[in-house]
Amino acid sequence: MRQRWFSGPEARFAQDMQKRLLLHALAAWPRRGTSLVEIDCGRGNFLPLFWQCGFDLTATEHEAEARATAQARAPKGVEVVAAATDHLPFADRHFDWAVLHLEKPGPDIMPTLQEAHRVAARGLAVTFWNRASLPALLRCLSLRTMPWPARPMSWWYVWQRLQRLEAFARSIHATLTGPLGSWNRQCPLAACNGWLARLPLGAWCIIRLDLAPLPGRRGLPLRLRQEALRKPEPVMEFGNTPDTVNLRRSSL
C-alpha cells in the first residue's frame, strides 16, 4: 500500500515523470491496430495515457478496491479484469504488448515475469521501484526513514531474472534520479530528475524486452554523384556504333 507521504505534490510530480518515461521507453512500439495489456494497473493512473497512445487496451488488477477505481478512470470500452499477476486469464501470445508493474512483488517474481511473457507476442515492459538508485543511496546517507511508494527491488535483481526469458533485445530506462526532496516542481533541483534516463540510477525503472525484431526504418534513398552517371545511350542492336552502321549500309 502506498504510504501517506506519497499522496501530495510528490505523487503528482512522480506520476508526471513516470508518464514521460513510459512515452520515451515505449516509443519504438507500433500502436495502430496493436493490443496492449497493463498488468497490475493499480488505480489506473496510466490507462488514459496508453489509450491516448492508440493501443487497443486491456488491464488487470487483483485488489477489488483498486480495480473499481481503475475501471472508473478507464476510457470507455477498456475493461479492467480481475486477475493475479501469476495467473492471467488469457491465451498464449494473446496481446502484442504487455506492461507489467511490479508494485507488490512477492518473494519470487519469476512466475509473474513468466506469465507476462506468455501473454505477450511482440514486447514486454517491466516497471519497478529501484532500491539501487541515487535517491535510495542519498536516503541511506541522510539516515532518513521516509518510506518508498512501493516495495523496491534492485535493478540487477530484476535484470538477472529477465535474462532467463527468451527475448530479442533488452533496454533499461529510469527516472526520478534526484533526492526525494526534489520530487516537487517548486524545488530548484526538480529538473535533475529527468537526467540519466539511459542508466539504472533513478528511483523508478522500466526494462523493455522486444520479443521479436521491431520494424526497421526505411533506408535512405541512394545518392550518386552526378559525374558517375553516364548519358543515356541507344541500345546496341539498333546500330549506334560506326561498325554496325557500315555493316548495315553495305547490306543495302
- β-pair partners for 153: 130
Domain architecture of the chain: domains with CATH: 9-210 (3.40.50.150)
Long-range contacts of residues 213-220, Cβ cutoff 8 Å, at least 24 apart: 213/168, 214/28, 214/29, 214/30, 214/123, 215/30
Residue identified by cell 538477472 is: 160
- β-pair partners for 128: 205
- Which residues of the chain fall below pLDDT 50? 1-5, 217-229, 232, 235-242, 244-252
d(CA 127, CA 46): 12
Q: Fill in the amino acid letter for 213.
A: P
Query: Mind listing the pLDDT tens digit for each residue in 195-222?
Result: 888 888 999 999 999 998 887 644 334 4
Do the beta carbons of residue 46 and residue 78 sit within 8 Å? no
Q: What pTM was estimated for this model as a whole?
A: 0.80
Query: Mind listing the pLDDT tens digit for each residue in 143-172?
Result: 555 566 778 899 999 999 999 987 778 899
